[in-house]
A = this chain, B = another copy of it.
Amino acid sequence: MSQATRGLAEFLAGLRYEDLPQSVVERTEDLFLDWLASALGSQGQHPIPLFERYAQKMGPADGNCAVLVNGKRTSAYFAALVNGASSHLIEQDDLHNSSVLHPATVVFPAALAAAQDLGKSGRDVILASVAGYEAGIRIGEFLGRSHYRIFHTTATVGTLAAAVTVAKLLDFDTEQFLNCIGSAGTQAAGLWEFLREAADSKQLHTAKAAADGLLAAYMTAEGLTGAKNILEGEQGMAAGMSKDADAKWLVDGLGTRWALAETSFKFHASCRHTHPAADALLDLMQREGLAAEQIAKVTTRVHQGAIDVLGRVMVPQTVHQAKFSMGTVLGLLAVHGKAGLVEFDAFSLTDPRVAAFREKVSMVLDPEVDGAYPQRWLGRVEVETVDGRHLQGAIDEPKGDPGNTLSRPELEDKFQRLLAYSGARTPEQGSELIAKVWRLHQLEDVQVIA
């Protein structure tokens, strides 16, 4: 039995609300609000209604747990499923850089559904979510870059992060945590292959990760046992799904390093892999006073992961695919100054100026950028102007990263913009939700979050 996996389980079992620094508590509320915005912002968009219909067909007609996009109540499993699907669609949810995990979209659907089912408080949700972030991020780091080349980490590791979150709400001891991690790890799945045709699997992945993680924890509470060494064992996750796993990450800085505080908020509405180059280009254009038409060529110097994820998309066929097109993202910024949800819908597929700019953009692997990744996401672009100048743009921390983060007013603004985008809630309802989330640490009952 590995000491690293056991060490992680002991930490999770022993973690108390009183152990959390105030900054971590507040940051969890920030992340929760940002997640709520992402979930509500997808209302009505394909394929979210498909998940709603599936939940109505297979689940109970009522229950304790809120489906955010339609206000219906159901059982915890289906609330986690639909909220997990809906919070990753518009590509506005958070990201942890070095694990390449989007924690919010798997942790919070599980946390809210289980807490509403079990009658838990806001403090319970915060504590459980911190546990989910701390475990999920470390397991993502443990599985390494080789895992991410084939597997969608937010799907695979997300199942474990969600399971740990619900396990903490169920107040598990160390042995129960080990069983629960075993039952979650053996359900972990999700392949990047869907990107080629922009299939809907990304929503299936986050839906299933949140719901299957919850299932693992509830079944553990019933008495189901799991593999105690699912992460490191000879026939476990690392053996089957990684070539560069390193157990040291599983216990890295437990109790002193708060990985949750290292997460980044999304600023542009595109795949996070486009953001470093996007910010570097924006910075360069502002510095030089350049307009889109003055640019002849853009070479983005990127890490391998960006090429793996973005390299497939040449001419995007859907708005969702456009968010994975480096040329389109840079084109929106160069031509319209923003790459938000509104700009994607209005311009990403049909604006000839954006399409023309897209053709000017290429990606090349940069050893420095790749070497720094995934701890740091460096932005490097080379621009050739129509009048023959060669310019370079560089940023070391994209907007939304911990050292360049969003303030609470910026988060509130993003929240209201996403609600307005989908029409899921009125601005007044949005303000009420914001007020509830900023008091999450005092809420006796999280039923009011719906």
Contacts and interface: CB of A to CB of B under 8 A. Distances in A.
A344 interface: no
Given A58-B75, A191-B240, A222-B54, A204 B183 contact: yes
A174 interface: no
Listed residue (A191, A197, A218) with the most chain B CB atoms within 10 angstroms of its CB: A191
A224 B191 contact: no
B189 A182 contact: no
A236 B196 CA distance: 11
Contact of A200 (B77, B205, B225): B225
B54 A218 contact: yes
Q: Is the interface of A mostly helix, strand, loop or mixed?
A: helix
A290 interface: no
A114 to B, nearest CB: 11
B226 A194 contact: yes
A219 interface: yes
Interface stretch (A227-235, A254-262, A328-336): A227-235
A151 interface: yes
A118 to B, nearest CB: 11
Contacts of A183: 199-201, 204
Listed residue (A57, A193, A229) with the most chain B CB atoms within 10 angstroms of its CB: A193
Nearest to A212: B208
A215 B57 CA distance: 11
A50 interface: yes
A357 interface: no
B193 A208 contact: no
Given A189-B189, A193-B230, 8 more contacts: A47-B222, A47-B225, A51-B219, A60-B60, A150-B235, A151-B240, A183-B204, A204-B224
